[in-house]
A and B are shown apart, each in its own frame.
Chain A
Amino acid sequence: MKIEIRHLSKRFGTVEAVSDVSFAVEEGELLGLLGPSGSGKTTVLRIIAGLETPSTGDILIDSVRVNDLPAQRRNIGFVFQHYALFKHLTVFHNVAFGLKIKKWRRAEMAQRVSDLLRLMGLEALADRYPHQLSGGQRQRVAIARALAPKPSVLLLDEPFGAVDAKVRQELREWLIRLHDDLNVTSLFVTHDQEEAMEVSDRIIVFAKGHLEQIGSPADVYEEPATEFVARFIGSMNILEAKVTNGKAKVGSMEFPVSEFPDGQQVQVGFRPYYVKVSEDPARFRQQARLRHVYFLGVAYRLEIETDDGVILRSRMNKEEYRQCKFEVGQPVSYAITHFRILPQEGKPGAFLQPPQPPESGPFTP
């Protein structure tokens, strides 16, 4: 079902945890709420579930305002960060809990629970107690329990925050498959940008209680609407510069920004893979020194210090890296192939433009 949030704000004492947030979740969508801790994303989730009351604003589920509906009548499935399983009940009875409350018939209840346990790959564990399960199994029990009463919406608070990295990866893929199978409208909260990218149909980025951007993972990554999003999602080199004669200058680097007036302070941003580095000093015009090489598994991250003392991060895939014979400390040449001017803080999207190559002169080989 569709969820709509309108001008939602929540104050705890003097702290404004959520301020004037509006967005909609479409039927069947898997939406990620992404932000650092304390950004208000969990509060939004809890308000939708009815576990917190908003200070102002409306929550609509299927076009019906549910502000005054208590949590137990919203028909929402909620998966808590630390599972919150009932320790005194077996896996079976944990999953059956919501059905018992809703007075399902015994036979139908048993059928529904065993169907869900099979779907979750938990059928062999039906008689176990939560403390006899692994983290990943507990999480799946929690999801099965939330899904059992056929909720109209599934909310997940940091669903994979408490399991180790390998299990987390399995659970992510499993959640995507589950969502494809069941197609229940789902929102999940995470502080892990990779997780948000991988799992979500769309991402909402939160910072300090504000909604910073909403869009597909590719949109948010390629076209960050605010400086915060640019800094938070993925890795980015960000340089401060003042525009003079239509160019933003940082040391010997020059970025053509003719659409900005002279004297304007701008932030130039570029992803590490737009920084090309060569061990051949003649390959590119700009000169630097290789400070560090980090092995990332699928790629390498290079940290170079330009002759002007600016530190830049570059990313290279394995093949590229192997062709160059790098040694830490050696002089290198580099070029920046694409850049963008970041939108300024407090003016979301004000200076948004697609990444463009600084084709005119200084950076091309």
Chain B
Amino acid sequence: MRKLLIAIVWLYFGILLIGPLAYLCRQAMSDGVAAFWGEITRPEAVHGFKLTTEITVIVLVLNLIFGTVTALVLARQQFKGRTLLSGLIDLPFAVSPVIAGFMLVLLFGPETLLGMFFGALDIKVLFAMPAMVLATLFVTFPFVVRELTPVLQTLGKAGEESARTLGANEWQVFLKVTLPAVRWGLVYGATLTIARAIGEFGAVLVVSGNVLLLTQTATLHIYQSYVDFNYVGAYAVAMVLIVVSFAILTVLEVARVRATAGDS
């Protein structure tokens, strides 16, 4: 019975994860290492990696700043509408990324007030970097907040209060007490954000217009290659993203262990 259960789990993992992964690796290398290298160094692929990296970095920085502020406010302040805000944080998980992208298209379309405003300033939002960042922000927003808020709540206020009685001002309290205490939670939230930002497809597809060498991220490039029957290209870029994801997963695991060990 026990062996059967273990076998079922192995089979489940095999079908869902290990099989596809192994097949992907094989296919990426099917025309040899040179072809693989050629595919991932193509200008379109390089541009895709570059664009994905840029979006990820911007989104990560914004999420770290506003996610931390949001978590601090939700964990430390009592105010009207706090429960409503806490509930809204999970919204991006419930809404399909395609719908998120679509909402942005509607919001910044040429006929809307916002669209006209940015149009008048000659700032291109839709089918450009700003909308892609916004779309990625929308889908990654919950990670830092959701990691940090409970950590801050269990941490309590006593450490911050004792720092204040020892003469620290608010900024010193944050830098010297709060931040070090939640650092692994923050790392955990950051890695989740990075992983999701790199992998985001639907929301970005809708708002980017998928313009070659302009608004085509790595995942969009995979999609495009696949549609154009360039399977080796699709597999090769996918494999790079998977390696990156694996590295992130490792960091995540370390962060999780530290986060639970360090706080006990």
Contacts and interface: CB of A to CB of B under 8 A. Distances in A.
Interface stretch (A72-80, A294-302, A317-325): A72-80
Q: How large is the interface on B (under 10, 10 to 19, 20 to 34, 35 or more residues)?
A: 20 to 34
Contact of B162 (A73, A80, A102): A80
Nearest to A74: B165
B181 A71 contact: no
A97 B177 CA distance: 10
A78 B167 contact: no
Interface in B160-208: 161-169, 172, 176-177, 180-181, 183
A82 B156 CA distance: 11
A145 interface: yes
How extensive is the interface on chain A, given as a class?
Answer: 20 to 34
B166 A101 contact: yes
A278 to B, nearest CB: 54
A198 B101 CA distance: 69
B166 A97 contact: yes
A84 B172 contact: no
Given A80-B158, A88-B181, A131-B264, A71 B165 contact: yes
Nearest to B169: A72
Contacts of A142: 162
Interface of B: 156, 158-159, 161-169, 172, 176-177, 180-181, 183, 262-264
Contact of B168 (A72, A145, A146): A72
17 contacts: A50-B165, A71-B165, A72-B167, A73-B167, A80-B158, A82-B158, A86-B159, A86-B180, A87-B159, A97-B163, A101-B163, A101-B168, A102-B167, A145-B166, A146-B162, A146-B165, A146-B166
Interface of A: 49-51, 70-78, 80-82, 84-88, 97-98, 101-102, 131, 142, 145-146, 148-149
Contact of A88 (B162, B169, B172, B180): B180
Contact of A84 (B162, B167, B263): B162
A149 B159 contact: no
A75 B164 CA distance: 10
Consensus secondary structure, chain B interface: helix
Contact of A72 (B159, B164, B263): B164
A165 B172 CA distance: 37
Nearest to A71: B164
B126 to A, nearest CB: 45
B44 to A, nearest CB: 46
Contacts, number: 71
A51 B161 contact: yes
A181 B158 CA distance: 28
A102 B169 CA distance: 11
A101 B172 contact: yes
B264 A78 contact: no
A44 B162 CA distance: 16
A87 B166 contact: no
A207 to B, nearest CB: 26
Given A87-B181, A88-B181, A149 B162 contact: no
Contact of B166 (A50, A88, A149): A149
A14 B136 CA distance: 44
Contacts of B264: 131
Nearest to A76: B165
Contacts of A149: 166-167
Most chain A C-beta atoms within 10 Å of own C-beta, residue among B156, B158, B165, B176: B165
B169 A84 contact: no
Contacts of B168: 72, 97, 101
Nearest to B173: A72
Contacts of B169: 72
B165 A72 contact: yes
Given A51-B164, A84-B159, A87-B263, 12 more contacts: A71-B165, A72-B166, A76-B165, A77-B165, A85-B159, A86-B159, A97-B163, A98-B166, A101-B167, A101-B168, A101-B172, A146-B165
A98 B32 CA distance: 63
